[in-house]
Structure 1
Amino acid sequence: MSATEPRITVGVDGSAGSTAAVAWAANIASRRHLQLKIVHGLQIAGLYYGGGMTGIGAATLFEAVQADGERAIADARALAASVDKDLVIVTDLPNDPPVPMLIDESRNARMLVVGRTGTGGFADMLVGGTAASVAAHAHCPVAVVRGRHDSTDVPESGPVVVGVDGSPNSEQALAVAFEEASLRGVPLVAVHAWSDITYEDTRATARILTQPETLEEGEQRLLTERLAGWQEKYPDVEIGRNLVRDRPRHVLLEESETAQLIVVGSRGRGGFTGMLLGSTSQALVQHAGCPVLVVRPEPTK
């Protein structure tokens, strides 16, 4: 395969969350007959620049960090190979900070996969915002592999769930979600929570308060219209609908406890202008009970 051929890329660091991400990414790559690329950012320069470390001290640190990185890569490669012995696996161990390295890797990836937590090269993955930053800036969909009850127990059963709000980014998420459901042979649940008034303007809020029945009919029509074309394209996918008057993140977090995958756009119709990662996708990345696939808007031609 060429360096620019689409692949599944996974960031590793040796943590339990990273291990779960590798196994999940290997399964995805195997199912799609794609190359799997395993990457680990050493970020050695950041460890001792300005710290006065020279000579033997710096060399010892370099060797220790490099050995840890090589071990993480080797363990991840062995795990991925155990998932599929015929899987084509490549690795990289650059001396780069994790966020810019992963964003750069996303240029040639069909999907970028990271774990729910991290250590070493991916320290404080969620607390420090690494996963959110990657999801906000990547050039391909980003999967954050999470398990039930904030663990690494990643579910393998249940439907694919997609958030629908009628925005262009939501349409892109729908396309990805239908493909995922079809490849997995599971139902797709389309969730449309239509009264997230947190980001609605004053006039819309007033309509929600004064004309709920009329609004609900309109939102039902929106969901039906958005699903119509996809039902024809993927006749093998059984579709369920969940139309509720609630905030999207509340409903999707609840759905994540029985789903095997949640698919959302990076930001929807209610987000602040210029916000790269909306409140719903941010909440799911940090708290969902299953893997979350965040779909970025396609570049403007």
Structure 2
Amino acid sequence: MSTQPAAVVVGYDGSPSSIDALRWATTAAVRDLAPLRIVEAFELVVYSRPSPGQVVPLEALRTAREKGLSALAEGIRLQQPGLTVDTVLAAGPAAEALLAEAEQARLVVLGSRGFGGWSGLLVGSVAVQVTTHTQCPVVVIPPDLRPHAHEGPAVVVGVDGSKASARAIEFAFDQAEAMHAHVVALHAWTSPFLTYADGASMLQFDAHKVEDDSRLLVAESVAGAAADHPDVTWTIELASGSAARALVRRSESADLVVVGSRGRGGFTGLLLGSVSQSVLHHTQCPIAIAR
């Protein structure tokens, strides 16, 4: 007896950011032969001193939202006849609803910002909460997403030799295979090796050794995923300095950046590492946080 694959879940609220997320999620669901599940949160907001005659009954609001979601799903089915699309209008906060849906999802896709909140923030509270606490991969779509001008699709993955990085590499190769994309395995170093040169007392930095060791670390880290995806081409890129800065810079010409939820170092109690948080807030292309 065959079972239906886990769904691609997308958060939707009608905002431009959520519309971009819905487009990306639809494409991903079609690629993965997976169902698409559109989740909208219905949270009643009571305003003080409502104007007389302007109060809309709660059930009428819910019915209107349900009809809107149904029409949205039907439009996607017409464009993608083989795609299974269902909808959820969840009562309560959006982050809570999405985290509940994520328990059975293969992937959660979000816009960086929905309606509400502080417009000065680059990433909204819902995206931060979901990426921090969910146990499945999450893709966040930045605002004003536009196609990049480059020779072919590219998936950039941050590599640092950690277990979280290994999961990110597997996810990156899975996505690259589905997207017919090239993988760029990016490693950045900030603490160079210090060695004595010819017995001198002054410590000197051996740049060639750092590059050789870094290249070996990346090659060993990627070897398993590359063997599992023989049709996916990949290259190594090394950068000195901040890993977050290197990934953000590389996102300007990428189709997807993939990072682990936590890398080496930092405080183990944190659920989302500093590099992941920084790239999440500044990336120029969709970012996937793999778990």
Of all paired residues, the percent bearing the same amino acid is 35
RMSD of aligned residue pairs (Cα, Å): 3.1
Aligned partners of 1:145 and 1:154 also within 8 Å? no
- Pairs within 5 Å for 1:230-241: 230-241=225-236
Query: What one-letter code is carried by the residue in structure 2 that aligns with 1:268?
Result: G
SS in 2 for 1:94: strand
Structure 1 residue 162: Cα displacement: 0.4
Residue 219 and residue 41 in structure 1: after superposition, are their counterparts in 2 closer, same or farther (change >3 A)? same
Question: With structure 2 as the length reference, what TM-score do the two structures score?
Answer: 0.84
Deviations 1:183-241 (A, max 9, x none): 1111100000121x5xxxxxx8978x854434333222211211222222211111111
TM-score (norm 1): 0.82
Question: How much does 1:82 deviate?
Answer: 4.9
Number of aligned residue pairs: 279
Take 1:34 and 1:109, find their aligned partners in 2: how far apart are those partners? 10
AA matched with 2:258: V
| Map of 1:29 onto structure 2 | 29
Within 5 A, what are the aligned runs for 1:223-234? 223-234=218-229
Secondary structure of 2:56's counterpart equals helix
- Counterpart for residue 192 of structure 1: 187
What CA distance in whole angstroms lies between the structure 2 residues aligned with 1:126 and 1:251?
A: 19
Q: Distance in 2 between matches of 1:233 and 1:113?
A: 25
Looking at secondary structure, tell me which structure has more strand per residue. Answer: 2
Partner residue of 1:169?
164
Name the CA shift for 1:164/1:254 in 2 (closer, same or farther; >3 Å): same
| Residue 135 of structure 2, aligned match among 135, 139, 143 | 139
Show structure 2 runs of 5+ residues with no match: 196-202
Name 1:151's counterpart in structure 2. 144
**Whole-angstrom CA distance in 1 between matches of 2:261 and 2:60:** 37
SS state at 2:103 partner: helix
Structure showing greater Rg:
2
Structure 1 segment 273-288 matched on structure 2, within 5 A: 273-288=268-283
Structure number with higher helix proportion: 1
Q: What letter corresponds to residue 22 of structure 1 in structure 2?
A: L
Contact 2:193/2:210 (<8 A) preserved: no
What is the match of residue 38 of structure 1?
38
Contact 1:11 1:113 in 2 (8 A): yes
CA deviations 1:35-59 (Å, max 9, x no partner) are: 1000101112xx239x699xx98x7
Which structure 1 residue ranges, 5 or more long, are not aligned? 198-203, 297-301
Name whichever of 282-291 and 260-269 sits farther off.
282-291
Give runs of aligned pairs for residues 1-301 of structure 1, distance below 5 A: 5-44=5-44, 47-48=45-46, 60=56, 62-63=58-59, 65-66=61-62, 69-70=65-66, 73-74=69-70, 76-119=72-115, 126-146=122-142, 150-153=143-146, 158-195=153-190, 210-213=204-207, 214-296=209-291
- Going from structure 1 to structure 2, the CA distance change for 1:31 and 1:270 (only over 3 Å counts) comes to same
Tell whether the 8 Å contact from 2:114 to 2:124 is kept in structure 1 after alignment. no
